[in-house]
Amino acid sequence: MPPPGKTHRPEKAGRFCDQKLANKVTATSLPKILPGETRRTMTHPNALEATRATYIPKHPASLHEHAAALRSDPPPAASEDVRERFPHTFDLPTVTFSDKNAQGESRPIRSGVILSGGPAPGGHNVMAGLFDGLKRIHPASSLFGFLNGPAGLLKDSGREIDAATVDRYRNTGGFDLIGSGRTKLESEADYRKALETARARELTGLVVIGGDDSNTNACMLAEFARKEGSPLQVLGVPKTIDGDMKGGSIETSFGFDTACKVYAELIGNINRDALSVRKYWHFIKLMGRSASHIALECALQTRPTITLISEEVAARSLRLHGIVDHIAGIIAARSANNQNFGTVLIPEGLVEFIPEMRQLIAELNEVLVTGWQEFSALETLPHKREFVTGCLSPESSGLYRNLPREVANQLILDRDPHGNVQVARIDTQRLFIELVEHRLKEMQSAGSYGGGFSPQHHYLGYEGRCAAPSNFDADYTYNLGFTAALLLREGLTGYVATVRHLTRPTWEWLPGGIPLSRMMNLERRHGNIVPVIRKALVELDGPAFKVLEANRDQWASETHFAFPGPIQYFGPPEICDRTTITLQLEANA
């Protein structure tokens, strides 16, 4: 009887199997490690990473160095009110690239690139696509990477990106090739400094890979450069695992697909654990600063017992005790049915969408700014809590007093550089566990609940933000980068690179670009009216939420867990290449 599975090959002797090497004493002091110079996958590749490095992203027919640019009407503006702020970059056409060849000779392009904000899977592939695109357009083109985010541009700190470096990072996760940072380009002084650096480095292009804020600032810089007569072309690339930079020609931001798949793998495993041991309720907080796209997508992939969606909480003005009652009610109903287990998905930003919590946080921010001196002089936590409680409105004060001790501390201790409460640091999953536990005890006393409650808490965030990109994200980001190179070739500025028709076969994807200014709205920020790209929140009449809404009662009362499993790179396309359920539903809508 022959072996039915695939043939084994004997293990190659890896580094660890070499006893001499394993036992050697390593006394040499190596130089300190800079971004991109880390001796990581180079000297000690693992098998998957080594193989994955050879993956060539799929691309559409129209994505090649000679692709002709087709210009059409500008996309509808999010707000016409911003027109006067962008005289040079508002009335620009939509651009798409075609499989026809462009006319004329190409010239070398020298571009800079910046990774901005939190990492997202695929950032390195944007750089690879950009690098390949520039080199294909003209072999004398070059790419300069600014280190550690926009700060690198302001400080003129960076490095030339060469082919060997790019090859080391193809299809890898993380932003470690050049590092990232949260410095913002916001003031006119920043823009001037940016133009100076660009001029000194002889850059005619600058590609900013970032989220809504970074793309907003890219747009401002593009406009400023044109106003100043600078030749610098500034482009944006839509990045964020949160999935909230989308709309119009931007079907999804990159990284959302991979991060959701990693979280869904883990939620699926937790689902399976809940079903196997039948005694735990798992409360799982999911990264994602404001919007609940991650929680929604993960719910569609894994069918948990309960999913909270911040946007719904806000729209229905649900109060904290109402949400707690809702959860406790489901727990009691399942318990009566001998199902003392379940999974609950909680978006990270939820507390800011609960009206009274939002109010409390706003008041705390105020108290901590105005009363900082007195507050920080207090030595013990009880005194600090007492102090802030005294400064709050009666409603907020009552709410604050009844919060679990630890959450009450997190609300006053973990503050960002602007003095604001760090919402991401609040253990919302523990908050709900404590409140639900309290509610169940009340129900027990009243005789309306007779089961047990064994909670477990999880926070899934850093586990997925730097995962290696899925095939979808590897392809999408490479194409975004290559598209950015083509937009530079066209002499365009103030554009965001787009790749559309993402649920079709890659061969039919549509690369192009739209003017960033058409995505701008005017909003008040820190007392000033400024143009910003608005975060796209979950739409309650959108197809993704509708599916959750239609199914969640059944998922709560019965058990319909799904177990998506880990990201696969080498299997059938229906496993390896498909993207999020959200994107599929939105494309079909």
Determine the length of the chain.
589
Q: Do β-strands 94-101 and 110-115 pair in parallel, antiparallel, or remain unpaired?
A: unpaired
Q: Which is closer to its own copies, CB of 98 or CB of 269?
A: 269
3-state secondary structure of 428: helix
Catalytic residue among 132, 176, 213, 242: 242
Task: Collect all residues with Cβ–Cβ distance below 8 Å to 376 and sequence separation of at least 6.
Answer: none
* Spatial separation of the C-alpha atoms in residues 160 and 279, rounded to whole Å: 56
Sheet holding 455-460, edge to edge: 306-307, 342-347, 281-286, 455-460
Q: Name the nearest CA neighbour of 299 among 108, 465, 538.
A: 538
Report, in Å, the least distance between residue 282 CB and its own copies: 7
Cβ 477 to its own copies shortest distance, Å: 14
Interatomic CA distance for residues 400 and 578, integer angstroms:
45
Nearer Cβ to its own copies (186/577): 577
Task: Tell me whether residue 125 or residue 204 sits nearer to its own copies (CB atom).
Answer: 125
Partners of 343 in the β-ladder: 282
Residue 337 Cβ, how far from its own copies at the closest point, in Å? 5
Question: Which residues are within 8 A (CB) of 91 and not within 5 positions of it... i.e. 6 or more apart?
Answer: 74
Query: Does the active-site annotation cover 473?
Result: no
Contacts of residue 359, defined as CB under 8 A and 6 or more positions apart, other chains included, come to 393, 395, 396
User: What distance in Å separates the CA atoms of residue 345 and residue 303, rounded to the nearest whole number?
Assistant: 10
Q: How far apart (Å, rounded) are the C-alpha atoms in residues 589 and 585?
A: 6
Query: 210-248 burial string, b = 16+ CB within 10 Å, else e?
Result: bbbbbbbbbbbbbbbbbeeebebbbbbbbbbbbbbbbbb
Taking the complex as a whole, how short is the minimal distance between the CB of residue 285 and its own copies, in angstroms? Answer: 12
Identify which of residues 124 and 518 has a Cβ nearer to its own copies in the complex. Answer: 124
Answer for the pair 472, 577: CB distance below 8 angstroms, yes or no: yes
Minimum CB–partner distance for residue 319 and its own copies (Å): 27
CB of 9 to its own copies, least distance (A): 5
490, 93 Cβ separation under 8 angstroms: no
- DSSP secondary structure letters along 97-140: EEEEEPPS-----EEEEEEBSS--TTHHHHHHHHHHHHHHH-TT
Nearer to its own copies, 393 or 568 (CB): 568
- Dihedral, 249, 252, 253, 255 alpha carbons, nearest 10: -150
Shorter beta-carbon distance to its own copies: residue 176 or 251: 176
Q: How far is the CB of 6 from its own copies (least distance, A)?
A: 6
- Label residue 247 left, alpha or beta by phi (over 0 means left) and psi (-120 to 50 means alpha): left
How near is the Cβ of 8 to its own copies at its closest, in Å?
3
507-540 core/surface letters (b: 16 or more CB in 10 A; e: else)? eebbbbbbbbbbbbeeeeeeeeebbbbbbbbbee
Which active-site residues does the annotation give? 242
